[in-house]
Structure 1
Amino acid sequence: MDIAVASGYVYLLINPSMPGMVKVGCTLRDSKFRARKLYTTGVPTPFEVAFEVFTEDHEKLEGELHSRLANFRVNDDREFFRYPLKDIISLVLDLSKNKNDPDSEFGAVSIFHRLKEKYNNWMDPSIADVRIVQTNERVWLEITWEKTIADYLKDQTIKRTDLAFICGDDEESNYFQRDDTVTINAKKFTEDFDAYSIMMVTDLFSDAACREIGEIFKPQWQSAEK
């Protein structure tokens, strides 16, 4: 008898109120929707999607991850694991490689908190999340803005920018390579880009911040133009 295989998302959720713990789950729907559903009255802060991957058999991948991480499970009845997030992401990427259809691969990693740590006073306060989203064909920067209306409605605007226009050192190759993993490209964005570069190619900073950054880096780019 054939076993039904369903495509869906495997996600990693984190919560500021649960430091060091990662929820590993799967869903047929959007992972952000699942994170919102878990934000109940018993949880003081919202869950955030730190990473997600789309796979042709999401339940199988989730089971493999739970099995590999069994010794780090916080509670046998819960999908929470006390394990470094970056190491779980690496494990997901390794187990989720689709050998039958590599072109269908999809992964997304949130870089919001790392950017907030570095540029908290400059970030547009209406931004709720920033992710690097990647397939075998594209590397995107995805920004989510939130706007509260009448104290109970919350609209979201999501914009994806193809990062292929950013060149590497030889000015002929893309800086964000499709052959690199999504975690490598996320690290490039958060660690290798300076504030001026981010200001020039994204909408992450407020207008006031852009003016301040421009003044800070003005001597540098004026020198480069000479």
Structure 2
Amino acid sequence: MHKGRRGVIYILANQYMPGLLKIGQTTRDPETRVREISRATGVPADFEIIYDEIVSDVDAAEAMIHTQLAASRVNKVREFFRLDVRSAIKIVQQVGREFAVDEGIEAEGVEILPQLEKRMRRWLRREIVSVEFVQFSDLCVLRVIEQPDVTRVDALQTVVDLRVLGDSGGEFGDGKLFSPLRAIQKNVQIFLELDAYSIIVTGLGLLSDEASLHVAHLVEQLSVEPPLSPGWQISSIEYDVWGSAVTDNEQILRLLRASDARRLGQPGHT
């Protein structure tokens, strides 16, 4: 198992450079790198991704490929090779097996149910006992575990491919809302900032039917979705003084009312 920076080896072609292939590496989404290369002055047309391979040590893998293809290299300080596509893909695949990603070791997971509950506790389905954001070398998924019957230990696990949330094309410029080449902490942050409507329409199955209907109603009314936190306010207070001596009741109620009044910012009555 090779240790190093995980990344992508890519093979690019350009229609105005027949017979030449560019073989390089990136630790980001390869499409982002292709856009950068294509914007360079002197490039007659955009490059096209012919093949890409995720590897566990992108620097070492690239160096090995370039060494094996030294005889085909057009310029030793450039990444262009005079090579047919089939041969190029074969060599990248061979080296890729030397630097294979071990998902069992490299997969990362973050339990996010506590953060979701902090934001929208009363909106979540009660059956859910775990929500984990899991990031593999080439994929981000959400692993949801629910326990429908609290009297039984049986639980149901659902894994959702987060590519269902589509393309961002925004701040991070990698074309993906959740990129496996981005730090998992950043991906988790993006997920936790999703609005309730996006969570519903993409079928993630996190919100209760009641909450989903409420959000649908807001959308139909073209209203702005209200913040989900704190999401509640005290409208009435009930004091349960069962078990106390009768003579203690008045004192208990008086102290509790004064405490609640202070907490709610109201004048206390003693």
Higher percent of residues as strand? 1
Name the TM-score, length of structure 1 as normaliser: 0.48
Name the TM-score, length of structure 2 as normaliser: 0.41
